Chain A
Amino acid sequence: AQSVTQPDIHITVSEGASLELRCNYSYGATPYLFWYVQSPGQGLQLLLKYFSGDTLVQGIKGFEAEFKRSQSSFNLRKPSVHWSDAAEYFCATSGTYKYIFGTGTRLKVLA
């Protein structure tokens, strides 16, 4: 069965520092993978998606993610974090109709 794991529940970084949020998936074939962001009190917003092809995908707000089949990972990165990036981030994979979400990583940004 498909699954997604986000090993980090909380991450704290300083403003201007680089960021990497981890996501591991479990699926036999090539998965469809997504990253969403949820600001406090808001719904989820799609940051980026991977279906096939180039393993480095660019998203909105300066985020990128790299698909690594050998490591079953789809980590989210940003070279320089802004205070407004403080939010919860969800990795997800999709099957027929349904998505499977990770439990989320809450990002705190220090001024």
Chain B
Amino acid sequence: DVKVTQSSRYLVKRTGEKVFLECVQDMDHENMFWYRQDPGLGLRLIYFSYDVKMKEKGDIPEGYSVSREKKERFSLILESASTNQTSMYLCASSFYSGASYEQYFGPGTRLTVT
């Protein structure tokens, strides 16, 4: 079974703090993703990575950066956390099944910025 793990389930940080969210997958998937999920807005893509050290902006990259130094690990960084970044953050990894890419998700990190 594919396993995607996220370092924290719940996190509380103060405004202005630097925040690291870690994601690890154990299936040697090429692609990894960070989404944020807010009520009524569904899942919005922040950043994704299709290879080690490669990254591309998603739909809402402002205020975030990412790092992928190893294939299995993809980190989301909030350089200076703000209250509007309070959200559920979901990590995913994907592989090409021969027909399409299939994504698998971690359990999510609920971040509260006060």
Contacts and interface: CB of A to CB of B under 8 A. Distances in A.
A65 B43 CA distance: 21
A77 to B, nearest CB: 21
A46 interface: yes
Contacts of A90: 42-43
B34 to A, nearest CB: 12
Give the interface residue-count category, chain A. Answer: 20 to 34
A52 interface: yes
B99 A97 contact: no
A9 to B, nearest CB: 7
B100 A32 contact: yes
B105 A51 contact: no
Given A9-B40, A102-B42, A97 B48 contact: yes
Interface string B85-108: 000001010100001111111111
B75 interface: no
A99 interface: yes
A101 B42 CA distance: 7
Interface in B21-61: 31, 33, 40-43, 45, 48, 50, 58
Nearest to B43: A101
A49 B4 CA distance: 20
Given A51-B99, A97-B94, A103 B40 contact: yes
A43 B105 contact: yes
Nearest to B58: A98
A28 interface: no
Nearest to A106: B39
A10 to B, nearest CB: 11
A39 to B, nearest CB: 10
Contacts of A2: none
Contacts of B42: 90, 101-104
Nearest to B110: A41
Interface of A: 9, 32, 34, 36, 41-46, 49, 51-52, 90, 94, 96-99, 101-104
Please provide the 5 A-B residue pairs with the shortest distance between their CB atoms, ordered closest to farther: A43-B105, A32-B100, A103-B42, A51-B99, A44-B105
9 contacts: A41-B9, A43-B107, A43-B108, A52-B99, A97-B48, A97-B94, A98-B58, A99-B101, A103-B40
